Chain A
Amino acid sequence: MVEIENLYKHYGKFVALDHLDLSIEKGELFGFVGPNGAGKTTTMRIISGLLKADGGQVQIAGVDALKDSQSLKRKIGYMPDFFGVYDNLKAIEYMEFYASIYGIVGKKAKDMCMELMDLVNLSDKAEFYVDSLSRGMKQRLCLARSLVHNPELLILDEPASGLDPRARFEMKGILRNLHDMGKTIVISSHILSELAEMCTTIGIIDKGNMLTKGSVEDIMRRLNTSNPLKIHVIENIESAVRIIKENPKVENLSIDGMDITVSFNGSEEDEAELLGNLVNNGIKVVSYVRETGNLEEVFMMVTAKKEVLS
């Protein structure tokens, strides 16, 4: 659905996107995560036809997004991080206005708009003026607005920013529904845990580079290999240390009583092999575990240590 190759964008000397590559499959709910200034919004604005790229290629549903912006706009629905509404327009009129842009007018437009407002749980607010709605409702209305032309790809830039927990929960539910309906969704956030709960795939971006991409579990697993192994034995600690040191994947270790902390640069298979060596040599191992980090630690680690993912 989305194929980005070598995408480059700079503002003066500041490189916002540094030859970014990204591929998103049809039907994915892709979470685009990175710290402020990482290049998320720049990428989203380029693939939405709002910003000119300085280099690279972007294909959206078979359309060259950098050259054919008119065709692109029929394929995408975009919701910016900050947006305004028109005073003195009712919610249904707001929806009908955007429907009219795509040539949908009259009863057909009204029915479709009501259907979309129902999808975002706003059907009872149709006759309310837009500026009287809460921020969460406005976000949902804007989401419904982005669906009026039934786009194949939804691009949502921080849709949950500024929302209270309940509104966030509602937004997540709506996005899951849309995903179940087969929509491909790209959603950005600087909070990894927010995306991890609902996205099928996440990509972590920093300084215009895609650091990693995959399912949350996959990324966690890959990142955990850079965490130390914690081994607890009940006797023969000297022999255990000797065996561990002989393993070529071990970078360094430290001993605290009967606890050994090992920097182990190996895969899960390598871990199993080391454990097997210890046990086969008569070492009584009672605990052998790779330390795991939480999502926020993962995020900090990825953005701080790019090499762990290479």
Chain B
Amino acid sequence: MKINPVYGKEIKLRVRSVRFAVTILLFNLALIAIALFGFEIFFNVNINSRIDYSGAVVVYFILISLEAAMVALLVPVFTAGSIAGEREKQTLEILLTTVLKPMQIVIGKLMSSISMILLLVFSSLPVISIVFTIGGVNMTNLLQFVLVIIVISLYVGSIGMCASALLKKAVPATVLSFGMLIIICVVTVIAVFVVNTSANMYYYNTQNTSGVYPDVTWVGYFLLLNPAFTVLEMIISQYTSQNIISELASGLNGTMPSIFMDYWFECSIVVQLVLTFIFLMLAARFLDPLRRKEKEKSSKKRKKKKKKSGDVDD
């Protein structure tokens, strides 16, 4: 099997470092500590003289929520620095004169960045599986978690790659990645609240409660983009079998087609994978020197800078 050369090189560089082995060790030690602490709280601290075995499931949900959050926070750091880092190290230009296509470079970088994170996640599966000793969580739940983690890694990673290909420096690229992540995870939720509140205010103040609530379920579809909401919906449906999407739709004064009500998780996964593809295409486009539109201002700035330093681009 032919391995993407960029992926092969990156993995060699990353796995070779002692820091990586230490990171895996510390990460799993932290998870074990949290799990043991959770079990201690639920089973050994007998406040009302009975043991609540459902506490094991709560520990499981805390652990997977932590892991999902870790993925969402670490992947942009790894990916946003990947291409911008090559640019800063002045190694990108050489790569671009080889037969590697920009998309191959983007895929190689993305896969190497997220495979490090996924290695952390997979190494923690035995710790998470502690919950199987008590029950309450089945294998399907665990596989669903693994699937959502992979999709989040790809999705958030593609955002990081896009920022990394667009900007020249790793730090601004990381800031842009987190900015986009905040828009996707926080602004979509705020948008739902704002639109819903505005609709209710319109009903009470303009229609004087005499008409019908305006149907604003359309804003709920924005949550399909939100990986945090995908994890939340997955956890709630695993834990309570409650359909929060139908509650969301009724809260937005309307209803949604049954495909979204019954398969929200699957729909959000598909939407996020489609967006991943779009972000990767954009990243490859930004990376292609012959397709990237040069900004006059930035070129002028660069020339001025080089002239000042006595090292003019000929």
Pairwise interchain contact A42-B313, C-beta atoms closer than 8 A:
yes
With contacts A85-B91, A88-B17, A145-B94 known, is A42 near B314, CB below 8 A?
A: yes
Pairwise interchain contact B9-A11, C-beta atoms closer than 8 A:
no
| B17 nearest CB neighbor, chain A only | A88
A305 on the B face (CB < 8 A): no
SS class, residues of chain B in contact with chain A:
loop
Of B8, B97, B101, B314, the contact of A50 (CB 8 Å cutoff) = B97
Pairwise interchain contact B90-A98, C-beta atoms closer than 8 A:
no
| A41 nearest CB neighbor, chain B only | B314
Q: Given the complex of chains A and B, what is the CA–CA distance between A86 and B10 in angstroms?
A: 10
Pairwise interchain contact A89-B13, C-beta atoms closer than 8 A:
yes
**What B residues does A69 contact at CB under 8 A?**
290
| B99 nearest CB neighbor, chain A only | A73
**What B residues does A70 contact at CB under 8 A?**
99, 101
B308 on the A face (CB < 8 A): no
B179 on the A face (CB < 8 A): no
SS class, residues of chain A in contact with chain B:
loop
A26 on the B face (CB < 8 A): no
From 66 to 86 in chain A, residues with beta carbon under 8 angstroms from any chain B beta carbon are 69-70, 73-74, 76, 78, 80, 82-86
**What B residues does A190 contact at CB under 8 A?**
314
How far does the Cβ of B244 sit from chain A's closest Cβ, in whole Å?
47
| B13 nearest CB neighbor, chain A only | A88
B89 on the A face (CB < 8 A): yes
Pairwise interchain contact B296-A50, C-beta atoms closer than 8 A:
no
The 8 A CB mask of B1-34 against A (1 = contact, 0 = none) is 0100100110011001100000000000000000
Q: Given the complex of chains A and B, what is the CA–CA distance between A190 and B311 in angstroms?
A: 11
The 8 A CB mask of B274-314 against A (1 = contact, 0 = none) is 00000000000000011100101101100100010011111
| B8 nearest CB neighbor, chain A only | A100
Of B9, B13, B98, B289, the contact of A102 (CB 8 Å cutoff) = B98
B96 on the A face (CB < 8 A): yes
With contacts A39-B314, A52-B289 known, is A11 near B96, CB below 8 A?
A: no
With contacts A14-B300, A14-B303 known, is A40 near B314, CB below 8 A?
A: yes
Pairwise interchain contact B312-A73, C-beta atoms closer than 8 A:
no
From 142 to 165 in chain A, residues with beta carbon under 8 angstroms from any chain B beta carbon are 142, 145, 149
Of B13, B90, B312, the contact of A36 (CB 8 Å cutoff) = B312
Pairwise interchain contact A50-B96, C-beta atoms closer than 8 A:
yes
How far does the Cβ of A69 sit from chain B's closest Cβ, in whole Å?
6
| A71 nearest CB neighbor, chain B only | B99
Pairwise interchain contact A88-B296, C-beta atoms closer than 8 A:
no
The 8 A CB mask of B70-103 against A (1 = contact, 0 = none) is 0000000000000000000111011011111100
**What A residues does B310 contact at CB under 8 A?**
36
Q: Given the complex of chains A and B, what is the CA–CA distance between A191 and B35 in angstroms?
A: 68
Pairwise interchain contact A101-B16, C-beta atoms closer than 8 A:
no
Of A36, A84, A97, the contact of B9 (CB 8 Å cutoff) = A97
**What B residues does A55 contact at CB under 8 A?**
none
| A39 nearest CB neighbor, chain B only | B314
With contacts A39-B314, A86-B13 known, is A48 near B98, CB below 8 A?
A: no
| A88 nearest CB neighbor, chain B only | B13
**What B residues does A73 contact at CB under 8 A?**
97-99
Q: Given the complex of chains A and B, what is the CA–CA distance between A132 and B5 in angstroms?
A: 23
**What B residues does A84 contact at CB under 8 A?**
89-91
How far does the Cβ of B248 sit from chain A's closest Cβ, in whole Å?
48
**What A residues does B296 contact at CB under 8 A?**
11-12
Q: Given the complex of chains A and B, what is the CA–CA distance between A142 and B95 in angstroms?
A: 12
**What A residues does B290 contact at CB under 8 A?**
49, 51-52, 69
**What A residues does B93 contact at CB under 8 A?**
50, 80, 83
How far does the Cβ of B95 sit from chain A's closest Cβ, in whole Å?
8
Pairwise interchain contact A97-B5, C-beta atoms closer than 8 A:
yes
A102-B98, A149-B99 given; name 16 further pairs at CB < 8 Å: A11-B294, A11-B303, A12-B300, A14-B303, A34-B314, A36-B312, A48-B97, A50-B93, A52-B290, A52-B291, A86-B89, A86-B91, A87-B13, A97-B5, A101-B99, A142-B94
7 A-B pairs in the complex with CB atoms less than 8 angstroms apart: A37-B314, A39-B314, A50-B289, A86-B9, A89-B13, A93-B12, A97-B9
